[in-house]
Amino acid sequence: MITLISDVDGTLLGDPAALNELNEYITEHRDSFHLIYATGRDVTEMNRGIFTEGLIMPDAAILSTGSEIYTVESGAFLPDVQWESIISASWDKNKVEEAAKKVEGLMTQGKSEKLKVSYFIDPSAAEQIRCRFRKLFKEQGIKAKIIISHEKYLDIIPENCDKGKAAEFLIKKLAMSYDSSVVAGDSENDTDLFESFYHGIVVGNARHGLRLSTQNRDFYMAGTDYAAGVLEGLKYYMQRLK
């Protein structure tokens, strides 16, 4: 049984025809797969992806950049309260938002999430903004992690969580095989997934940051983009992990 843990935007989504082909393949071999989405989306956006964007129903979902975990039962997303309890112990959203007021160049994404604060940033100022947050967090004793992706999205989440840590927790809790788990992604906020697992698919349209962090490691570098790249890598691992 293979567990596919895949990012959504830019990995599964981007080529509707390729997504349909991937969905058909997974559906045809459904008894051979656990399917987990790992994304920065919240649960409302995740449901939109399923009902209007062509995603098939997963077995579980890692949402809000790893700060939320849901299992799926009869089509309903059920939050994992144990994970929330673990990562929220040292989290103070109010302190994070107050610190952000001292950082120039932020534009809120307009979301209200319990365990994540999100902003749009100017790509040219990304590293400067990251350094400013790190300095403020150190000075104020704020325990949080900064994740920048596509050079323009900035997420701040509890320090002891990310997509990779959430996936490790979920694999262990559901008694799935770690050695038969395959991750897939396209951008910097997927790096933690590749750091946590041995098998991975870097889609053809992956950004430089992810390519740089995964080079010289034994991951599948797809020649095609989006869901076509995931399918390409999935077929490779279906043979390799038999």
Please tell me the predicted confidence (pLDDT) of residue 181: 97
What is the distance between the alpha carbons of residues 100 and 116, in angstroms, rounded to a whole number? 13
Please tell me the predicted confidence (pLDDT) of residue 104: 93
What is the distance between the alpha carbons of residues 235 and 105, in angstroms, rounded to a whole number? 43
Please tell me the predicted confidence (pLDDT) of residue 118: 95
Whether the CB-CB separation of 38 and 183 falls below 8 Å is answered with yes
Structural tokens at position 129: 């903004």
Residue among 238, 206, 201 nearest 220 (CA):
201
84-95 burial string, b = 16+ CB within 10 Å, else e? beebbeebbbeb
Please tell me the predicted confidence (pLDDT) of residue 110: 85
Whether the CB-CB separation of 200 and 185 falls below 8 Å is answered with yes
What is the distance between the alpha carbons of residues 131 and 1, in angstroms, rounded to a whole number? 42
Instruction: List the chain pLDDT tens, one digit each, 242 residues.
Output: 899 999 999 999 999 999 999 999 999 999 998 999 999 999 999 999 999 999 999 999 999 999 999 999 998 999 999 999 999 999 999 999 999 999 999 999 988 789 999 999 999 999 999 999 999 999 999 999 999 988 899 999 999 999 999 999 999 999 999 999 999 999 999 999 999 999 999 999 999 999 999 988 999 999 999 999 999 999 999 998 87
